[in-house]
Structure 1
Amino acid sequence: MSQISFADFFNSAKKAGPETGPVMPVAVPSSGIHRMINLEVARKQFISVFLHTARQLRRWDVFSDFITLAASELDLARVRTQESMERCRKICERYDSDDIKNLHELFRLMVCALEAEFHDFLGAIFMELELGDDRRGQYFTPYSVQSLMARMLIPGIKDTIRREGMITLSEPTCGAGGMVIAYAECLIEAGLNPSAQLFVNCIDIDPVAADMAFIQLSLLGIAAEVVTGNTLTLQFNRVRYTPVYYINGFEEKLQNQRRIRAMLDFIRGMKEAA
C-alpha cells in the first residue's frame, strides 16, 4: 500500500471581477468518489487531459502552472499566506472553468498514479511530453537507473538506523526527486519505514523541478527539506518542508541525531587519543 496520506486539492474558483477576493485552496468535496486505478491507466489519462487543457497556451506554461498550483497547495507552512494565494489567483485567471476542472483532474490522476506504484511519475511525464526539449535541454534520469543506484546505498543502513534512530540523505541536484523516491522504495523493501526513519535534503536550481520533487515527496510521505537554489554557489531562493516533516516531528529527530553523532565523535576521539 502506498504511503499517500495527504491530497488536498487547490481551489477551482476563478476570479470573476475586481471585487472578488483571492483564490482560496479548499479540500476535496466529501461527495467525491476516489477510485483506485492502475499506473498505466492513470498515465494515459493524465497525458490525454493535459493535452486538452488550455490549448491556446504553450505546453510548458500549462505544465509549470499545474506544478506551481499543486506545490503551493501542499506547502503547509505557506498555503494560506497572502503571497501564495495571490500567486495562485493570478495563475487561475489564465484558465476558464473547464480548464480549471482539468487541472483538478490532473492532480487526482497524479495521486492515483503514485498510489498505484512508488515511482517518479512527474519525471516520466516530463520526458514523455518532451518538455525538456522546450526548456534548457533538461532531461531526467529513468527511474530504473535511479533504482539501481539507490540499491548501492542500502547496505549497512539498518545499522545506521539502530545507532542514530534515522538516516539522512542529501540530493544536491534532485530534479523531480526520482533518486530519493527510489531510495525510499528500497527502504520499504528492506522492511523499514521511510516516513519515520528517513530525512532528505533536496536542492535544484530549477524552481519547477524543485516543485516537482516537493510534490512527489509530499504525496509519498517522505520527510524532506526541498531547496530551490544553486548547490555550487550556495545561493538559495526558497526552502520548503514536506507535510511529513511536521507531522512526524523531524525537527526534534534531527536534533537528536546531531547529539548522537556528536557523542559518538567524542567517544571515537577519546579512543584514538588513548
Structure 2
Amino acid sequence: MRAQHQITGLSPTMARAEFLRVFERTARHHGRWQVFHDFVTLAASDLDMARVCTADSRARMAALCGTYSPAEQAALQQLFCLMTDALSGGFQDFLGSVFMELELGNDRGGQFFTPWSVSRMMAGLLVPRLKEALAREPFVSVTEPACGAGGLMIAYAAALAEAGFNPATQLLVSCTDIDAVAADMAFIQLSLLGMAARVDTGNTLAGTVTRTRYTPVWYLEGWNDRLKTRAMLQAFRSLMT
C-alpha cells in the first residue's frame, strides 16, 4: 500500500472528499467498520519500518489483502494515497475526523475522538511550558496515556511549529491506546506528519503493552541515540549536584 507524496495530484481538501467517496464505494460489500479496520491495519503495517519486511508481517498482510478483490485492493491503495495528500495540507487529525464523520464510532460502542478545535485549544495551554523547556533543552517529551487517533499530540506539534520550532527534532511523543485500531490510527498520522513517536497498544492503567511501534522519523533522526545522550547528561548532572 505504499504511496508517493502528493501522488494523486489533488489538493488536501479535494483529497479528503475523494477519500470519503472511495471509502463508501469500497465499504458496500464488506461493511464500513471492516473496511476501515483493514485499511488502518494495512497502512500501519506498511509504515512500520521494524516489521514491514518480516516474513510474518508479509504473510499476515497478504492474507488480509486476499479477502478483497483486485479492484478493491486498488481502492485500498488509493485510500492510502488520498490520506497522504490530505495530510500534506499540514498538521491535522485527519483519521479521527473522518472516523467521526463516517459515524464509525456507532459500531464501536460510541467511541468518540476529540474534535480538532478542542485539541488545539488544549495544546495551546501547554505550549508556553514546552517553549520554556526548549529554552533549556534540545527537545521536549510529551506523553498521552489514551491517545485515540493522536489528535492532541498532533495539536502540540502544530502549535510548536507555529512558534518556530521543528517538531521532528524538538518534540518526542510517547502515546498509548488500549484499542489497537486507535493506536494504529495514531501511528499512521504521526508517521505521515513527520513526528518522532513511540506508539504502544496496551492498557496504561494495568501497565501492559501488547505492541510497540516507532515512527519512521524516530529512526531517521536517531532518537535512540538522542535518548541515550540525554540519560547520560542527566546522570552527570545528578552526580555533580
Common fold, TM-score beyond 0.5?
A: yes
Q: 2:176 matched to 1:203? A: yes
Q: CA–CA distance in 1 between the matches of 2:39 and 2:129? A: 39
1:15 is aligned to none
1:153 is aligned to 126
Q: Which amino acid aligns with 2:186?
A: A
1:103 is aligned to 76
Equivalent residue for 1:230, pick from 186, 191, 203: 203
1:249 is aligned to 222
The question of whether the paired residues in 2 share the 8 Å contact of 1:71 and 1:212 is answered with: yes
Measure how far apart 1:72 and its partner are: 0.3
Aligned-pair identity in percent equals 50
Equivalent residue for 2:11, pick from 38, 44, 49: 38
Aligned pairs for 1:207-218 (under 5 A) are: 207-218=180-191
1:135 is aligned to 108
Structure 2: gaps of 5 or more residues: none
Higher helix content, 1 or 2: 2
160-169 or 71-80, which deviates more: 160-169
Q: CA–CA distance in 1 between the matches of 2:74 and 2:168? A: 31
Question: Structure 2 vs 1, CA of residues 151 and 260 (structure 1 numbering), >3 Å: closer, same or farther?
Answer: farther
Measure how far apart 1:265 and its partner are: 4.4
RMSD: 1.7
Q: CA–CA distance in 2 between the matches of 1:50 and 1:78? A: 26
2:32 is aligned to 59
Larger radius of gyration: 1
Q: 2:191 matched to 1:191? A: no
Q: CA–CA distance in 1 between the matches of 2:131 and 2:197? A: 20
Q: CA–CA distance in 1 between the matches of 2:222 and 2:99? A: 33
Question: For this pair of structures, how many residues does the alignment match?
Answer: 241
Measure how far apart 1:56 and its partner are: 1.6
Equivalent residue for 2:42, pick from 65, 69, 93: 69
Question: Structure 2 vs 1, CA of residues 36 and 149 (structure 1 numbering), >3 Å: closer, same or farther?
Answer: farther
Q: CA–CA distance in 2 between the matches of 1:33 and 1:132? A: 29
Task: Render the CA deviation track for 1:23-79: whole Å, top value 9, x for unaligned.
Answer: xxxx76xxx983543332122111100011152211100000000000000000000
Determine helix, strand or coil for the equivalent of 1:227: strand
2:88 is aligned to 115
Q: CA–CA distance in 1 between the matches of 2:238 and 2:128? A: 22
Structure 1: gaps of 5 or more residues: 1-8, 11-26
The question of whether the paired residues in 1 share the 8 Å contact of 2:8 and 2:82 is answered with: no
Taking structure 1 as the reference length, the TM-score comes to 0.83
156-165 or 245-254, which deviates more: 156-165
